Chains A and B, each alone.
Chain A
Amino acid sequence: GQQLNQSPQSMFIQEGEDVSMNCTSSSIFNTWLWYKQDPGEGPVLLIALYKAGELTSNGRLTAQFGITRKDSFLNISASIPSDVGIYFCAGGGSQGNLIFGKGTKLSVKP
């Protein structure tokens, strides 16, 4: 079945640093979504991307829908302690289901 490779699996960074994570697939997707999950909570949508090449920002977060439709990246600028959590990418096809990456666990040292 379809799979997403999300990397890195985990990151341990200093407050103020920029963060970059990405997802790649051998399959084409119509939608790329990025979610964040705080400890003990459900994932919350951060950014949704619908067109190849699209670049979208949400505050300090920027995400891009790869031109081949097989990849996406998420950048976080000037990280702060509340950025801690697990970040998931998800690719969506025409049927309504989402395929999720395994997540990037972000730890931020003050």
Chain B
Amino acid sequence: DVKVTQSSRYLVKRTGEKVFLECVQDMDHENMFWYRQDPGLGLRLIYFSYDVKMKEKGDIPEGYSVSREKKERFSLILESASTNQTSMYLCASSQGMGGKNIQYFGAGTRLSVL
């Protein structure tokens, strides 16, 4: 079974802090994704990566950056957390081209910024 592990289920941070959300997958997938989920807005793509050291902006990249130094790990960074970044963050991974688009999700990190 594919396993996508997010390092924290719950995080509480203060405004202005630098926040790291970590995600690891164990299926040698090429693609990794970060989404945020808010009530009524569904899943919105923040950043994705098709390969190590590669990153592409999604629909809402402002206020976020990412790092992919190893194939299995994709980190989401909030340089200076703000209260409007309080949300559920979901990491996902998928095979590369020909992998039939299926994304496998982690359990999510619920981040509260005070």
User: How many interface residues does chain B have, given as a range?
Assistant: 20 to 34
Most A C-beta atoms less than 10 A away, residue of B4, B59, B99, B102 = B102
A-B pair number, CB within 8 angstroms: 53
| A82-110 to B contact mask, C-beta < 8 Å, 1/0 | 00000010101000111011110000000
Q: How far apart sit A42 and B35, CA to CA, in the bound complex (Å)?
A: 11
Residues of chain A at interface, number, CB under 8 A: 23
**CB within 8 Å of A: which residues of B?**
4, 31, 40-43, 45, 48, 50, 59, 90, 92, 94, 96-97, 99-108, 110
Q: For residue B100, which residues in chain A have a CB less than 8 angstroms away from its CB?
A: 31, 48, 50, 92
How near does chain A come to B35, taking the closest CB pair, in angstroms?
Answer: 8
Q: Which residues of A contact B48 (CB under 8 A)?
A: 97
Q: Is the CB of A102 within 8 A of B101?
A: no
Q: Cβ of A98 and Cβ of B103 under 8 Å apart?
A: yes
B43 contacts across to A, CB distance below 8 A = 43, 88, 100
